[in-house]
Amino acid sequence: MLPGYDAVRIEEMQWALSTKKQSDYDTPVADADLNKAHTVREANVAEVTKELRSDRETYGKGHEFTEQVWEVARDIRMSRSMDGSSFILGWALAFAMGKVVTTQPDAAGHPNTKLHTITFFDPDVEGSINMPVTSIVESISPGIKRLLYSMAVPSVTITAEGFEHLNTAVDLIGSGKSVASSLDMPDLTTVSYLASNYATIKLGDSGEDISTRVRSWSVVINNNPREGRGYFPSSGLYRGRLEIGSRSIVPALVVDINDTDADLLDDFLNQTELALEIYAEGDYTSGDTYKHYLRLRFPRLLYRAVPLSEADGIWSYAVSFDEETVIYKSGDSPNPLITVEVQNETESYLT
């Protein structure tokens, strides 16, 4: 072997995650529960930053140079872009929205099939405005392996077009604390990917199937967390909490124009309230009866805009909604803003 060192290839990067949440903000998930792994589309790793203070701009030293530096706070950020499997979609949506109820469609005949109904947690019910957090281990090389504490999911973006897998982009914010880890990295978790060409999209007050007209779609969840409030007297160097801000979940669509009538444009001009359902399925779960799937249903929407756009010589509507046009009705059931379902073979999330 030539003298020197061996470079580390980006393909050697691994990460381990857990479906479990931390019991509190300071206690990491046990190594035994960091047993899931999923491929990523980009070679991003966690970014550790420090907030520093120095005496450079103070007087009395007799010069203008720095003599002392203090670290006053630390932060960790991570982003992941992944092909959307039913497992990783359930994981990202569960930690982003904060509440999961898991049931079994057929406990006796198909005990491995689980249906996870995911909703935004209610601070009044939970008695807290803090987001659930979990732990992650990332291995950049055998010698650089670190446990990241208290990782929350402030935002998730799901996008799809053509025949591609649903892309799942996840942002994470940690407490800032990381320590060396000796975890044996788990094997990749067996998953079922969900693809755009196996999706059904229904739009309108009568639930019209517009799947063949849809060119692309997206859903963005944002918790807008109050990051600065994570540091407080007695919190020390690391963030001690991460509270939700004004939460939102906003869809968008690019839809080909109907050549017989101006249906979407008319609904926009008439201020018509409508519903949107996005359903994407994958392989059968064990037993060949139930399928892996994601269902997102917005019961009350108003168009923000439906401008005309052109691609490949075809006219489309670039349909947009926003925080003001995804409507909340507190008396509605089961969830007034959105119903999210993920079916797969994952035992549970957020336990």
pTM reported for the whole predicted model: 0.95
pLDDT in tens, 224-262: 999 999 999 999 999 999 999 999 999 999 999 998 889
**Is pLDDT at 72 greater than 60 in this prediction?**
yes
Specify the pLDDT at position 1.
Answer: 52
DSSP string, 202-226: EEETTTEE-GGGEEEEEEEEE---B
Average pLDDT for the chain: 95
Assign 5 to helix, strand or coil.
Answer: coil
C-beta separation of 118 from 94 below 8 A: yes
Assign 89 to helix, strand or coil.
Answer: helix
What's the farthest any 2 CA atoms get from each other in the chain? 81
pLDDT in tens, 311-327: 889 999 999 999 999 99
* Buried/exposed 105-140: b ≥16 CB within 10 Å, e otherwise: eeeeebeebbbbbbbbbeeeeeeebbbbbbbbbbbb
C-beta separation of 31 from 51 below 8 A: no
Specify the pLDDT at position 2.
Answer: 60
Specify the pLDDT at position 335.
Answer: 75
Closest CA to 337 of 304, 302, 299, 303: 299
pLDDT in tens, 45-54: 999 999 999 9
The CA-atom distances, in angstroms, between 324 and each of 122, 157, 249, 304, 349 are 20, 19, 11, 8, 30
Phi-psi region of 338 (alpha: psi -120 to 50; beta: other; left: phi over 0): beta
Specify the pLDDT at position 210.
Answer: 96
**Is pLDDT at 205 greater than 80 in this prediction?**
no
Specify the pLDDT at position 5.
Answer: 77
- Domain edges within the chain: 13-52+72-344
